[in-house]
Amino acid sequence: MEIEGIALKQSFRIRRLCTVHYFEFSKNYFFVGEKHDFWEIVYVDKGEILATAGDREFPLRQGEALFHCPDEWHNIRANGTVAANVMIVTFVCTGAAMDRFVGAKLSLTDVEKKLLSGILSESHDAFSSPLDDPNDNQLRLADDAPFGSQQMIGAYLTQLLISLSRRPAAKPVPEPKFGSATRLAEIREYMLLHLSEKMTLSRLADAFHVSQSYLKKLFAESVQCGAMHYFLGLRAERAKELLRESDRNISQLAEELGYENVYYFSSQFRRFTGMSPTEYRRSVKALDEKGRRRRGEP
């Protein structure tokens, strides 16, 4: 007896897993933003964060997830009141079925939370790279990974996408009342080019031929913070890069970044990261050593 059978349709094809992270952010955490050509899921396991997607910003509370589509500029920051535990999964998945997740902010059910937990658990076993290091975005396979762990990650992620898709159509997050993603991106690039210089609202207004009140509204509606707070956040992110990449001392880095003195640099760095520059550099070295030990390197 011949049975022809059928080829099972796959509504979602996970073509590549890019990163899996689980972070414990301080109440003052601030990430200036990025964009990339793959999908990203941001899930708040505990606490609350403020998330930006393009020119939209809104709170993400415990149990809620946000989808970022490819090439969408986005960032996250703590609300200054509570610390947050956040899981981030990035992946490549093409096809029309993913269109329903553009601009989607969703509250996850217990079943869907368990699927995310399964992704995290299998990732801990499948990869030797640390999942709590924001500076390590390269997944490295573990030599002793359990059989089928990579496939299990794909299966959990596929189940999650199917579960979410079976709901009524996801309601896109409403557009903000004010703001321009293009103008904000232009100002951000200008700030990055002048990180070591004194920045004021007046200087920005003159550079972009707009009023100071316009800038105040733009930043308030787009990222819910002042322009100078945003600028100092960019400085803090650059400081983190220099602390990771350079052996120069803290005083030299403070001077390079345009701070008046090392004490002001340290206080501002702690404001945005929850730790001093020295503590941050020490934590990065500790993570590097931990990663080398897990990989069996000297």
Each residue's pLDDT tens digit, 105-134: 999 999 999 999 999 999 999 999 999 888
- pLDDT at position 31, please? 83
Residue 54 lies in a domain: yes
**Structural domain boundaries, residue 220:** 181-284
- pLDDT at position 18, please? 96
- Mean pLDDT across the stretch 93-100? 88
What is the share, in percent, of the chain residues with pLDDT greater than 90? Answer: 40
Domain count, the chain: 2
Residue 267 lies in a domain: yes
Residue 64 lies in a domain: yes
Which distant-in-sequence residues (6+ apart) come within 8 Å of 29 by Cβ? Answer: 49, 76, 77, 78, 84, 272, 273, 274
- Mean pLDDT across the stretch 241-268? 88
Q: What tens digit of pLDDT does each residue of 51-70 get?
A: 888 877 778 999 999 999 99
Residue 208 lies in a domain: yes
Same domain, 118 and 148: yes
Which distant-in-sequence residues (6+ apart) come within 8 Å of 171 by Cβ? Answer: 104
C-alpha–C-alpha distance, residues 58 and 155, integer Å = 30
CATH assignment of the domain containing 119: 2.60.120.280
Among residues 133, 165, 197, which one ends one of the domains?
Answer: 165
Same domain, 128 and 190: no
pLDDT band at 288 (very low <50, low <70, confident <90, very high): low
- pLDDT at position 297, please? 55
Residue 81 lies in a domain: yes
**Residue 78 pLDDT > 90, yes or no?**
no
Contact 275, 283 (CB under 8 A): yes
Same domain, 148 and 193: no
Q: What tens digit of pLDDT does each residue of 172-202 get?
A: 444 444 345 678 888 988 999 999 999 999 9
- Mean pLDDT across the stretch 95-109? 90
- pLDDT at position 181, please? 65
- Mean pLDDT across the stretch 32-36? 86
Tokens (6 digits) for 125: 């076993």
pTM value > 0.75: no
Average model confidence (pLDDT) across the chain: 86
Same domain, 201 and 256: yes
pLDDT band at 292 (very low <50, low <70, confident <90, very high): low
pLDDT band at 170 (very low <50, low <70, confident <90, very high): very low
Three-class SS state of 210:
coil
**Residue 140 pLDDT > 80, yes or no?**
yes
Residue 4 lies in a domain: no
The CA–CA distances, whole Å, from 24 to 46, 141, 148, 284, 290 equal 9, 23, 28, 15, 18
CATH assignment of the domain containing 222: 1.10.10.60
Residue 294 lies in a domain: no
Instruction: Look at 293 and 222; give whichever has higher pLDDT.
Output: 222
Same domain, 189 and 149: no
C-alpha–C-alpha distance, residues 120 and 17, integer Å = 12
Residue 128 lies in a domain: yes
Q: Residue length, the chain?
A: 298
Q: Which of 44, 30, 54 has the alpha carbon at shortest distance from 273?
A: 30
Same domain, 31 and 152: yes
**Residue 171 pLDDT > 50, yes or no?**
no
Instruction: Look at 71 and 209; give whichever has higher pLDDT.
Output: 71
CA neighbours within 13 Å on the CB side: how many for 127? 24
